[in-house]
Structure 1
Amino acid sequence: MTFARIAGTGSYLPENIVTNKDLERRVDTTDQWIRERTGIEQRHIAAEDQSTVDLAEPASRRALEAAGIDASELDLIIVATTTPDKIFPSSACLLQARLGVGGCPAFDVQAVCSGFIYALATAEKFIRSGSSKKALVVGAEVFSRILNWDDRTTCVLFGDGAGAVVLEASEEAGVLSTHLHADGNYADLLQVPCGISHHYEQVKAGQAFVEMRGNEVFKVAVNTLGKIVDETLEATQMSKSDIDWLVPHQANLRIISATAKKLDMPMDQVVVTVNRHGNTSAASIPLALDVAVRDGRIKRGQVLLLEAFGGGFTWGSALIRY
């Protein structure tokens, strides 16, 4: 039987750092308020001339280098993003050209903060079916472009960045299980309420901004992520103690802590980057994964639970033996 395993990870963050103190000078908020409610201290913001693919490319090259393969060996590229460079072609196609390869399938996935889990699950199924042997899976966002920087309830939460993994076919199980869900009935709780075919006048006026009903999102997220922990463990017949690391979507430290509590897991077994990165949407899990791999915390053979919740609502998990 063929499985998919992570062969290499990579990430990239824009150089420009915006601290909570910087935001105090821009909107009616405080460093203390942001820290207490979210755990965020700073976030990286792309330069005006940086696009999503500009962030995805160096993250991808670092993942390829870590995997020890050349871009020409890739036979699948999937980019998870809510902030593509263009309406079309896809950011995956643009990234493919940057990497100097062509011919293999390349496409985007849009599931907002759950996007990387969706993309990972899709690539894993390509590999298990025999359709792919080496896949590049990227989460990349320039989320700052869809923020209203006068709205203190949303602009303090998000940042920009990219993370990537190379998946390859293996005789040893790497991705143990994936679980994907969505419920569009909650769409109005977290959304950008306009687009190309709906309320386009807002887009033309430069008013395509994130809107969020934070308290309601928080309640659904905590409840939903708790359930998907149970679903994942039941599907794999594993116990909470079998999991070495929780690598969650980095949205809010309180949500992360609630999931760790559900797993009876101390916070020193949880990879937390939200304090330095903010919420980078589809990029947050691969960013956090790469940080913990490169600093030596995550080691080969360990079991990781990746989980995310995002607009849609969408949510998902992946259980991985690294």
Structure 2
Amino acid sequence: MIRSEQQPHHYRTHFGRPDDGKTGWSIWGTGAYLPDRRVGSEEVSRALGLDPSWIERRTGIRHRHVAAPGQAASDLAAAAAGRALRAAGVAAGDVGLIVLGTSTPDELGPSTACRVQALLDAPRAAAFDIAAACTGFVYGLQAAVGWLGAQRGPAPYALVIGVEVYSRFLNGTDRATAALFGDGAAAAVIGPAAAPYGIGPVTLGSDGTRAGDVLIPAGGSRSPASQATVGGLGHTIHMDARAVRDFIGEIFPRLVDEASEAAGIKPADLALVVPHQPNPRLVASLAAAAGLEEAQLAIAGHDVGNIGAASLPYALHRAVRTRRIAPGDLVLLAGFGAGVTWGHTLITWPPSP
């Protein structure tokens, strides 16, 4: 059922809702979109008054992509979703749900997912956003699987998308954020899968007492836009870099341990671990603490930076395209982000039809 962009396939029939206890849900196809403009870390380092190699040495990020003027989150998301649909061989008209994770929506309302629905021409789809920051894709999977399982009769497909246009919300003089963030989108089509393949239970969590670790403080109901908030850069990302680094160092090994224990396996049994990667070098350095070999990690942030809710699905998409995943492989998705939020799910990768 899994098809990359390089392996298009077209399906002529709907599968029924998996109500026989022998079928579930899995990823049929993935897609991604990066804006054309690519900015090197040397350029960003110089703009910050740093040594040209400073960013790459500390983060591993070589490049990031920046949206063009007038290019919004919905534009990036629709492009990625369209590619995922083509990879899956699914028509937009057969999509019943669009779930979109983002911290940088087109506007405060309506949902960016509704904008994407219109761009895709997916009239059957219900559409909504999820505000779980960089964990948005994992939260979106839970929403999609729950919705698909509740449908009566033939179930249409679901689209789960992660997208960010962080470049519109950066303080160019703040090395903690300007060095890391980029723009991009990635998406996955969710459809039926025969047992034992498919998406396992999705485990989610959050700790709202740490909501101030990473945030855009102005623009909402607590601090609406004003001359003061604009002048004070309240509409840019504010991040406590030390707190975030400590959170990543604690949560990533914990997610791997929890998922492995729940599945009755060892971390070494995982064919691939796809983490969120706000700092590729930092995440890779945690492999041993998580009981993993670095080769088990799908790291794709070197050339895109931190693209938030799109980071994890983008890395997954790259793994699919480069054929790092084989049928029957155990693939762990481990997300974490602002809120703070976290989530994980284990996928038993299905074979192609």
Q: Normalising by structure 2, report the TM-score.
A: 0.87
Contact map agreement 1:20 1:30 (CA 8 A) in 2: no
Matched, 1:64 2:85: yes
Q: CA separation in 2, counterparts of 1:238 and 1:207?
A: 46
What is the CA deviation profile of residues 28-75 of structure 1, one whole-angstrom value per residue up to 9, with x for unaligned ones?
223332123211111111111211011111111111011111011111
Aligned residues: 322
What's the counterpart of residue 222 of structure 2?
198
What is the CA deviation profile of residues 153-175 of structure 1, one whole-angstrom value per residue up to 9, with x for unaligned ones?
21010000000000012232310
What's the counterpart of residue 123 of structure 1?
144
Q: CA separation in 2, counterparts of 1:129 and 1:237?
A: 28
Once the two structures are superposed, the pairs formed by residues 266-277 of structure 1 within 5 Å of their partners are: 266-277=293-304
What's the counterpart of residue 118 of structure 2?
97
Q: What SS class does the counterpart of residue 69 from structure 1 fall into?
A: coil
Aligned CA distance change for structure 1 residues 78 and 112 (closer, same or farther; 3 Å)? same
Once the two structures are superposed, the pairs formed by residues 26-45 of structure 1 within 5 Å of their partners are: 26-45=47-66
Once the two structures are superposed, the pairs formed by residues 18-167 of structure 1 within 5 Å of their partners are: 18-130=39-151, 132-167=155-190
Q: What SS class does the counterpart of residue 153 from structure 1 fall into?
A: helix
What's the counterpart of residue 311 of structure 1?
338
List structure 1 segments (4+ residues) > 4 angstroms apart after TM superposition: 202-206
What's the offset of the Cα at 1:100? 0.9
Q: CA separation in 1, counterparts of 2:230 and 2:57?
A: 36
What's the counterpart of residue 6 of structure 2?
none
Q: CA RMSD in A?
A: 1.7
Q: CA separation in 2, counterparts of 1:194 and 1:40?
A: 28
Q: What SS class does the counterpart of residue 75 from structure 1 fall into?
A: strand
Quote the sequence identity (%).
Answer: 39
Contact map agreement 1:182 1:315 (CA 8 A) in 2: yes
Q: CA separation in 1, counterparts of 2:115 and 2:156?
A: 21
Matched, 1:287 2:314: yes
- Unaligned runs of at least 5 residues, structure 1: none
Q: What SS class does the counterpart of residue 47 from structure 2 fall into?
A: coil
Contact map agreement 1:27 1:150 (CA 8 A) in 2: yes
Contact map agreement 1:28 1:152 (CA 8 A) in 2: no
Contact map agreement 2:217 2:234 (CA 8 A) in 1: no
From 328, 336, 342, the equivalent of 1:301 is 328
Q: CA separation in 1, counterparts of 2:307 and 2:180?
A: 9
Q: 76-85 vs 266-275, which deviates more?
A: 266-275
Q: CA separation in 1, counterparts of 2:250 and 2:94?
A: 41
Matched, 1:184 2:211: no
- Unaligned runs of at least 5 residues, structure 2: 1-20
Structure 2 letter corresponding to 1:191: L
Once the two structures are superposed, the pairs formed by residues 234-249 of structure 1 within 5 Å of their partners are: 234-249=261-276
Contact map agreement 1:115 1:282 (CA 8 A) in 2: yes
What's the offset of the Cα at 1:203? 5.0
Q: Normalising by structure 1, report the TM-score.
A: 0.95
Q: CA separation in 2, counterparts of 1:56 and 1:116?
A: 13
What's the counterpart of residue 8 of structure 1?
29
Q: CA separation in 2, counterparts of 1:140 and 1:60?
A: 10
What's the offset of the Cα at 1:207? 3.7
Q: CA separation in 1, counterparts of 2:145 and 2:282?
A: 27
Q: CA separation in 1, counterparts of 2:253 and 2:145?
A: 24
Highest CA radius of gyration, 1 or 2? 2
What's the offset of the Cα at 1:254? 3.9
What is the CA deviation profile of residues 154-199 of structure 1, one whole-angstrom value per residue up to 9, with x for unaligned ones?
1010000000000012232310121111101112221111222122
Q: CA separation in 2, counterparts of 1:259 and 1:152?
A: 23
Q: CA separation in 2, counterparts of 1:207 and 1:264?
A: 40
What's the offset of the Cα at 1:13? 0.4
Q: CA separation in 1, counterparts of 2:112 and 2:133?
A: 15
Q: CA separation in 2, counterparts of 1:122 and 1:198?
A: 28
